[in-house]
Structure 1
Amino acid sequence: MDKQPHLLDIAEFYLRESVAPLAAEIDSNPEAVREALKGLGELSLLGLRVPRKWEGAEVSEETFRTFQELVARYSGALAFLQTQHQSAAGMLVASENSSLKQEYLPRMSNGEILVGVGFSQLRRQGEATVKALQVEGGYLLDGQVPWVTGWNLFQEFIVAATLPDGGAVFGVLPFAEMYQKSGGSITFSKPMELAAMTSTNTVTATLKSWFLMRSHIVSLKPAGWIHENDKKNVLHHGFFALGCARAGLDILESASQSKQNAFITEALAALDRELNDCRTAIKHPPEPFTERLQIRVWAIDIAVRCAHAAVTVSSGAANYSRHAAQRVYREALVFTVSGQTTAVMEATLNRLARSQSLLKTNATTTNFPYQA
């Protein structure tokens, strides 16, 4: 535990000195985000939840979430990319496949091997987009993985495929076009033209009778696992929103120093207080899911408002695509929908719909400060 604050100091120094000055380039250029990710690996910051016996940092949950907020403050693209790898590492840590753990985990913290994830499709209603059929020695996978981030940046990714009983098998696949002698194949679309974080190279993967060997299986999950996991981890994506909000306030703080308008300073102070309150609520959440859900959408709301404030004080310059305020505003869009579930969507819309009526009555809080 004593080393964890020092780890955060190292991370913040690197992010502030080496990442922040290049944030616009990192947002749009895959080579720039690759170098930024490499820098995290050189500091052994890519396996924070990996046990020390596997060459990881084995940090506390609080330290890990603080790190995620820090990265999002300085570069949304880097935050989004590295969390895919950190998620993959977490899945491997929890795996019962000891040989797979031994092969991958010691090389993940330093970035020697980079692994993405492709399981968000499990949240989708209706027919499964990726299906698995058990055969001798493993599973045959068929379908499309709609979102996989890290094309030409990661070497492999962990995919989730739905089983006939509604459960899911998770396995490691190559993040490159491959054809098996048995006739199976894995191909990828061109990187999507997204509004934000285009450098992270998000693609769609198409699997045709791909044979997933038993040795490459990470885990098996029961039906409904993703929904229970999303409820348990509803606040996790909120830390990225907090970092995005802080990035907006950094721009506001710079404007307050250069323009010296009292109203900018007052807005900065008010938003900063609210951000600190939101951070405290996320780090010390109540038990009921409904209340934790409200804290999640509060984080989304304040990220968007701080980003909008950054645009406001930047005036017309915020229209430039490479302006910091423009980038942070786009990042707020991404963090609004990252890890979105139906419950998060509904709660976000409810907060947005209530905001106007509450402004009219000057009632900014209810019994809970995080409820709009």
Structure 2
Amino acid sequence: MTIPAHPLVVRARRLADELLAPNAERVDQGEVPVGHIDAVKRSGLLGVSAPAAYGGSAAPAPVARETAEILAGACCSTWFVQTQHHTPVQVLARGEAPVRERLLGPLARGELMSGVAYAHLRAHPRIPVRVTRDRGGLRFDGAVPWYTGWGLNDVLLLAGITDSGEVVFAFTEACDQPGLRASRPMRLAALTAARTVSLELDGLWLPEEAVALRMPYEDWAATDRDRTVNASPAVFGVAEAALALLDEETAGPIRARLAEVRRRAYALADEPPASEEHLAERLTLRTQSYDVMRTATTAAVVAGGGRALSLDSKAQRLAREGMFLLVQGQTARSRGAHLDALTGRGPQLANGT
């Protein structure tokens, strides 16, 4: 008996087939249009993992992963803009009441979309953004190297560190304002369309009620390390899109490897990281997912021949998006594991080993 697809999966496929994929090459050479984001908001996908009590779908993890694969395979730039939204939703769901009650409903229902400015926390002990108490609220100073979705997001979740080593997450409007100024959009080898900027913070003042979460840096870092050892669904989505460009004789063996890595990676992702050995295995599978994606996108370029060098070629776009995913969400630990595997110092890649 065939099990019906989850409604959000059906919507993701429709959005991908009717809007995202047909326009992906054009978007890649320009920028993610507001219309794409409006369509994502209407689809309900922004609330895929949000609490049902606030208007979200509270869908199980496999549904969230499948919708991410579909969007990333169709238009990685649009996927990357909207994927930022899910972390603020998770933070609000376990965060402090005033801002949770103000924002979680609109974010869960897709009325608003949020971006994130917190990856710089991984630079610790260097502190790119410092938080100090000021006039009954909080002052943010420093620089955010990467912020995606500028001009598309309604709000942003900003993080900084206090002198006592506490991480503070707070919301503000995603626009130039006193104490916050964005750079010009960056020109990148891939996903320039995602409207990524850097943010200069010079005395940005936010009230206490804007704070969503605060915790010791060590506690945040432990959670972040656990999350960033998992394989990204976007990697599988881009790989699948590349395989669709190949004949079955070529795609079949690669697809079998992809399915096995995905199965093992997702099974581990659904289990708590019980031991260092468990974390190492997840890192190995993350690295293997990159290897299969690289094989798939390279095969698509080879099969496309000279045509694959054209900027309107789907194969070269997917290859560049795959390059971007190699470093997206990267930490020192994941980078080290990947380099060890590439140089033969770590576990072997793919080939069933």
> What TM-score do you get using the length of structure 1 for normalisation?
0.87
* Farther off after superposition, 105-114 or 6-15: 105-114
What SS is found at the alignment partner of 1:178?
Answer: coil
The aligned counterpart of 2:316 is 326
Match of 2:293 among 303, 310, 314: 303
What is the deviation of 1:10? 2.1
Q: Aligned in 2, Cα 1:221/1:208: closer, same or farther, shift over 3 Å?
A: same
The aligned counterpart of 1:73 is 73
What is the deviation of 1:209? 1.4
The aligned counterpart of 2:263 is 280
* 1:294 is the counterpart of 2:295: no
The aligned counterpart of 2:204 is 210
What SS is found at the alignment partner of 1:134?
Answer: strand
* 1:348 is the counterpart of 2:338: yes
The Cα offsets for residues 267-312 of structure 1, whole Å up to 9 and x where unpaired, read as: 2111000010011011212751111110111111111111111111
Amino acid at match of 1:320: S
Amino acid at match of 2:94: A
The aligned counterpart of 1:150 is 149
What SS is found at the alignment partner of 1:108?
Answer: helix
Partner Cα separation in structure 1 for residue 124 and residue 316 of structure 2: 33
* Farther off after superposition, 107-116 or 12-21: 107-116
What is the deviation of 1:30? 2.8
Amino acid at match of 1:107: P
Gapped runs of 5+ residues in structure 1?
A: 180-184, 257-264
The Cα offsets for residues 141-165 of structure 1, whole Å up to 9 and x where unpaired, read as: 1000111111111122111101112
Kept in 2, the 8 Å contact 1:311–1:326? The answer is yes
Kept in 2, the 8 Å contact 1:36–1:78? The answer is yes
* 1:118 is the counterpart of 2:101: no
Partner Cα separation in structure 2 for residue 81 and residue 6 of structure 1: 22
Kept in 1, the 8 Å contact 2:115–2:157? The answer is yes
Kept in 2, the 8 Å contact 1:297–1:347? The answer is yes
The Cα offsets for residues 123-178 of structure 1, whole Å up to 9 and x where unpaired, read as: 11442110011235221110001111111111221111011122210111222111
What is the deviation of 1:235? 4.6
Partner Cα separation in structure 1 for residue 125 and residue 8 of structure 2: 44
What SS is found at the alignment partner of 2:47?
Answer: coil
The aligned counterpart of 1:182 is none
The aligned counterpart of 1:51 is 51
Amino acid at match of 1:117: V
Kept in 2, the 8 Å contact 1:297–1:351? The answer is yes
What SS is found at the alignment partner of 2:16?
Answer: helix
The aligned counterpart of 2:251 is 268
Partner Cα separation in structure 1 for residue 227 and residue 32 of structure 2: 32
What SS is found at the alignment partner of 1:65?
Answer: helix
The aligned counterpart of 2:10 is 9
Identity between Structure 1 and Structure 2 (%): 26
What is the deviation of 1:29? 2.8
Q: Which protein shows a greater Rg?
A: 1
The Cα offsets for residues 175-221 of structure 1, whole Å up to 9 and x where unpaired, read as: 21112xxxxx1111000011111121111111111112101001102
Partner Cα separation in structure 2 for residue 117 and residue 31 of structure 1: 17
Amino acid at match of 1:223: Y
Partner Cα separation in structure 2 for residue 176 and residue 364 of structure 1: 44
Partner Cα separation in structure 2 for residue 25 and residue 94 of structure 1: 39
* 1:239 is the counterpart of 2:233: yes
Amino acid at match of 2:114: V
Amino acid at match of 2:235: A
Kept in 2, the 8 Å contact 1:121–1:145? The answer is yes
* 1:228 is the counterpart of 2:222: yes
Partner Cα separation in structure 2 for residue 171 and residue 338 of structure 1: 23
Matches within 5 A, 1:103-142: 103-142=102-141
Q: Aligned in 2, Cα 1:233/1:60: closer, same or farther, shift over 3 Å?
A: same
What SS is found at the alignment partner of 2:80?
Answer: helix
What SS is found at the alignment partner of 2:21?
Answer: helix
Kept in 2, the 8 Å contact 1:69–1:242? The answer is yes
Kept in 2, the 8 Å contact 1:169–1:221? The answer is yes
Partner Cα separation in structure 2 for residue 86 and residue 221 of structure 1: 19
Partner Cα separation in structure 2 for residue 30 and residue 84 of structure 1: 16
Kept in 2, the 8 Å contact 1:231–1:289? The answer is no
Partner Cα separation in structure 1 for residue 45 and residue 230 of structure 2: 18
What is the deviation of 1:236? 4.4
Amino acid at match of 2:25: A
Matches within 5 A, 1:28-107: 28-30=29-31, 32=33, 34-96=34-96, 98-107=97-106
> What TM-score do you get using the length of structure 2 for normalisation?
0.91
The Cα offsets for residues 312-364 of structure 1, whole Å up to 9 and x where unpaired, read as: 10101111122101110111011110110111111111222239x97xxxx96
Kept in 2, the 8 Å contact 1:242–1:299? The answer is yes
The aligned counterpart of 1:167 is 166
